[in-house]
């Protein structure tokens, strides 16, 4: 009996110690390019879907009118498109996030466009609450209730014909052009001198455009 208790006590001490040593000295997946933990996606998705199913609003308080869809398109461009892409324009870095930011105007999963197969209330929950450890922020302090519903209703209708004005907004590229920087020479990185830094053009202030 004593040997059993001693072995149990040793195991209770050794397991956390081994875990600490691996986290401190090992190579746990912390970079976006690393492989995920075993069952990591299931561990995250199961409680997420269970909670959303419990809390999502069952009906949307807004109709997909042209006014609401157009307002949703403006909001989407300002708050969502940089990660989730535009119509026919995938986001540059959405595929390089972990987990990948879904491109909400591209077909996937048997041709389904974005999250159009989800009820608006599910998208609203995600917009309002955000999702931990994914890069998806909570917009409850950024957008009001009407705005969050407008963008959620828009995304629920991503697989349906949209008004011309709405579609035009979703096709326009974002104004994210990089500043005019000097060309970078090929080869290994080089030290930049203070004279080179001073010679770089100053960024153009927004009011000067």
> What is the pLDDT of the chain when averaged over all its residues?
84
Higher-pLDDT residue of 7, 56: 56
For the chain, percent of residues with pLDDT exceeding 90: 52
> Tens digit of pLDDT for each residue in 89-125?
999 989 899 889 999 999 987 899 999 999 999 999 9
CATH number for region 40-171: 1.10.760.10
User: How many whole angstroms separate alpha carbon 209 and alpha carbon 203?
Assistant: 11
pTM for the full model?
Answer: 0.74
What local confidence, expressed as pLDDT, does residue 165 receive? 96
> What is the model's pLDDT at position 185?
63
Res 168 pLDDT > 80: yes
In this predicted structure, the answer to whether residue 24 has a pLDDT above a threshold of 80 is no
Give the tokens for residue 186: 């090929």
- Look at residue 134 and give its three-state secondary structure: coil
pLDDT digits 0-9 by tens, 126-137: 999 999 888 899
DSSP state of 113: E
Tokens of 101: 């930011």
pLDDT of the residue at 173: 92
Q: Check: CB of residue 148 under 8 Å from CB of residue 127.
A: yes
**Res. 209: pLDDT tops 50:** no
Q: Can you tell me the distance from the alpha carbon of 87 to that of 114, in angstroms, rounded to the nearest whole number?
A: 11
The residues spanned by each domain of the chain are 40-171
Rounded CA-CA distance 108/94 in Å is: 15
The set of long-range contacts for 144-149, using a CB threshold of 8 Å and a minimum separation of 24, is 146/62, 147/71, 147/75, 148/124, 149/60, 149/61, 149/62, 149/68, 149/120, 149/124
Residue-wise pLDDT tens digits, 141-160? 999 999 999 999 999 999 99
Residues contacting 99, CB < 8 A, separation 6+: 41, 134
């Amino acid at each position: 009996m004593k040997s059993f208790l001693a072995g149990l006590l040793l195991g209770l001490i050794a397991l956390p110690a081994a875990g600490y040593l691996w986290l401190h000295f090992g190579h746990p997946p912390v970079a976006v390019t690393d492989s995920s933990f075993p069952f990591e996606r299931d561990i995250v998705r199961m409680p997420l879907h269970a909670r959303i199913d419990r809390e999502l609003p069952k009906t949307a308080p807004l109709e997909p009118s042209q006014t609401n869809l157009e307002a949703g398109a403006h909001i989407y461009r300002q708050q969502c498109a940089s990660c989730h892409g535009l119509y026919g324009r995938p986001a540059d870095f959405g595929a390089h996030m972990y987990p990948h930011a879904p491109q909400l105007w591209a077909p996937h999963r048997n041709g389904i466009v974005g999250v159009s197969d989800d009820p608006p209330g599910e998208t609203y929950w995600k917009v309002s609450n955000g999702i931990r450890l994914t890069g998806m922020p909570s917009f409850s302090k950024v957008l009001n209730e009407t705005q969050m519903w407008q963008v959620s209703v828009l995304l629920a209708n991503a697989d349906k014909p949209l008004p011309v004005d709405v579609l035009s907004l979703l096709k326009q590229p974002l104004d994210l052009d990089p500043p005019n920087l000097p060309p970078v020479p090929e080869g290994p990185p080089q030290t930049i001198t203070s004279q080179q830094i001073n010679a770089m053009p100053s960024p153009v202030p927004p009011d000067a455009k």
